[in-house]
Amino acid sequence: MLADFVRLSLKALSERRLRATLTIVGIAIGPLVLVMMSSVVGSYSNYIEERITSLGQNAIAIFSTENYRLDEEDLNYIRSIEAVRRAEPFYNTQGVVKRGIEDVKVSIFAVDYSLLFEAVGSLKIGEGAIPSERLYVIIGWKIAYKDNEKYFSLEDGLIVTIPKIEGGKIAGRRSVGVRVGAILEEYGGALIVNPDSTIFMCLEAGKSSLGMDRWSGILVLVNNPANVKPTVSILREYYEDKAQIIAFSSIAEAVSSVTGAINFINFSTSLSAFAVAVAGVAATMITSVMERTREIGVMKAIGYTNRQILLLILMESIVMSLVGGSAGI
């Protein structure tokens, strides 16, 4: 009996191909929009989370503020926290490198190299080795290359223009000469810190070469990613508003929650497409019934019950819904 109803439904739909096709297209739009938007948002969310967490799932950066200066006392306190495995200061500034006829804006980080590569495990050296002398630096891929053309090689000299610091304030600009000791592999897009456009130098060079007399911040490594949140809570309770504390894993969680909200909004928006599909199916079925009054009368005359006729009409809507839903997905 059910097979007969399916066969009769398909026959009825084939007799009204245009109307059935348009209804099926309307049904398919709902799941198509939902799947498409969810896929796009999910892909970007995963990419952003991956980029952030690749900067160190167990890393915490503590930045000095204008009104608070991090010093040895802070470093000793941070190292005394049970979950902290390592903590080292760093210097950070912006500069300009002359590359051919163009000026390239770069970030400059003076940090302990071993801590840097431990915190950012996906950071790899493409050419050269970790420098052992202050004069030598590690440069990002986009500084050495542009459009696959190489501008800087190992042992090449770089002239970096940086802010001149006097009394903790910028008092003009000055140039610093360094040599290329290593070139990083291409890292890809990143948030907060972009290794491809960064010059890394040893911590000692931060004070001597950059002329900075105060730390920009302290880079902290926690012994386990699960201890990042408790450690951040301890630090924020201790420093309150005196220092800026950033945990890359926390940013990834925030991104995840935002994209989750966007997914919910997309789902809610897609419901309107489902509502249109339901209205389209209902309109098609009502029109079909009104056009087939004579056919329904003949069916009742040969023995079909009202329930069987209703089931036949419902089967047509089910077939269209299944075809449209499958096409949309």
- Per-residue pLDDT, 50: 63
104 within a domain of the structure (yes/no)? yes
Which backbone phi and psi does 125 adopt, to 5 degrees?
-90, 130
Angle between helices 248-291 and 17-53 (to 10 degrees): 180
Return the half-sphere exposure (C-beta side, CA atoms, 13 A cut-off) of residue 240. Answer: 2
Is 155's pLDDT higher than 80? yes
Interval 100-146: pLDDT, tens:
888 899 999 999 999 888 887 778 899 999 998 888 999 999 999 98
Query: Does 6 share its domain with 78?
Result: no
- Per-residue pLDDT, 318: 77
Neighbours of 241 (CB within 10 A): 9
Interval 15-54: pLDDT, tens:
666 767 777 777 777 677 777 777 776 777 666 666 655 5
How far are the Cα atoms of 90, 95, 182, 203 from residue 207, in angstroms, in the given order? 10, 15, 21, 8
Query: Does 19 share its domain with 101?
Result: no
| Nearest to 219, CA basis, from 136, 309, 138, 113 | 113
Interval 49-82: pLDDT, tens:
666 555 567 788 899 888 888 999 999 999 999 9
Is 213's pLDDT higher than 60? yes
* DSSP-H helix ranges across 197-305: 203-208, 228-239, 248-291, 293-301
Which backbone phi and psi does 317 adopt, to 5 degrees?
-65, -35
| Nearest to 326, CA basis, from 93, 24, 21, 68 | 24
Is 190's pLDDT higher than 60? no
32 within a domain of the structure (yes/no)? yes
Token duo for residue 4: 């007969």
Is 250's pLDDT higher than 70? no
Sorting pLDDT into bands at 50, 70 and 90, what band is 293?
confident
DSSP class of residue 253 equals: H
Cα 57-47-186 angle, rounded to 5 deg: 80
The residue out of 180, 206, 223 marking a domain boundary is 223
CA distance 180 to 156: 5
Query: Does 159 share its domain with 117?
Result: yes
Is 5's pLDDT higher than 60? no
CA distance 240 to 233: 10
CA distance 83 to 156: 41
Least confident range from 108-112, 215-219, 263-267: namely 263-267
Token duo for residue 195: 């290794």
Query: Does 31 share its domain with 94?
Result: no
Query: Does 75 share its domain with 43?
Result: no
239 within a domain of the structure (yes/no)? no
54 within a domain of the structure (yes/no)? no
Query: Does 167 share its domain with 20?
Result: no
Burial state string for 247-277 with b = 16 or more CB within 10 A and e = fewer than 16: bbbebbbebeeebeebbeebeeebeebbeeb
Q: Residue 217 belongs to what domain range? A: 59-223
User: How many domains would you assign to the chain?
Assistant: 2
Average pLDDT value for residue range 191-207: 84
- Per-residue pLDDT, 256: 64
